[in-house]
Amino acid sequence: MITLYTFGPAFGLPDPSPFVTKAEVLLKLARLPYEKKRADVRKAPKGKLPFIKDESGAVVADSTLIRFYLEHNRGIDFDNGLTPAERGTALDDREVRRGPPLLGGDA
Ligand SMILES: N[C@@H](CCC(=O)N[C@@H](CS)C(=O)NCC(=O)O)C(=O)O
């Protein structure tokens, strides 16, 4: 089972971090079983949350890379139903305009 490492509930929210929330929504959309554990952010692989660990012990840090992991390792198509043009627009908005970690951004 995948473990999602989080800050834990705060301020009346399931988690105060939008990135943790994004990763959890991705896991819910993927309909994969997962568990959540609170993590000490100072010990996180990149010094930030979220990160996940899978059954094999593989660790993926960063919500965008978690999305890539779910798409490429678990065969999840989050853009299912979109036309090729819509997929391009979504990718452009998500990964180029907002600046993905792979391009040095922090979205
Ligand atoms: N690009 C990362 C950003 C993660 C991020 O900035 N997390 C913040 C909380 S919202 C964090 O852990 N900050 C801890 C710190 O900077 O010390 C992602 O998408 O997961």
Rounded to two decimals, the pTM is 0.89
pLDDT of 27-86, one tens digit each?
999 999 999 999 999 999 999 999 999 999 999 999 999 999 999 999 999 999 999 999
Helix extents (H) in the chain: 18-30, 63-73, 84-91
Task: List ligand 1's pocket residues with C-beta within 6 A.
Answer: 17-19, 41, 47-50, 62-64, 101, 106
In this structure, the residue with its CA closest to atom 5 of ligand 1 is 48
Q: How many CA atoms lie within 13 A of 71 on its CB side?
A: 11
Parallel/antiparallel/unpaired status of strands 51-53 and 2-6:
antiparallel
Domains along the chain with CATH numbers: 2-76 (3.40.30.10)
Mutate to test the pocket of ligand 1, among 20, 43, 48 (most ligand atoms within 8 A of CB): 48
Please report the atom of ligand 1 found closest to the CA of residue 66: 20
Separation in Å, CA 90 to CA 10, 58, 107: 31, 28, 14
pLDDT of 9-30, one tens digit each?
999 999 999 999 999 999 999 9
In this prediction, residue 99 has a pLDDT band, given cuts at 50, 70 and 90, of: low
3-class SS of residue 54: coil
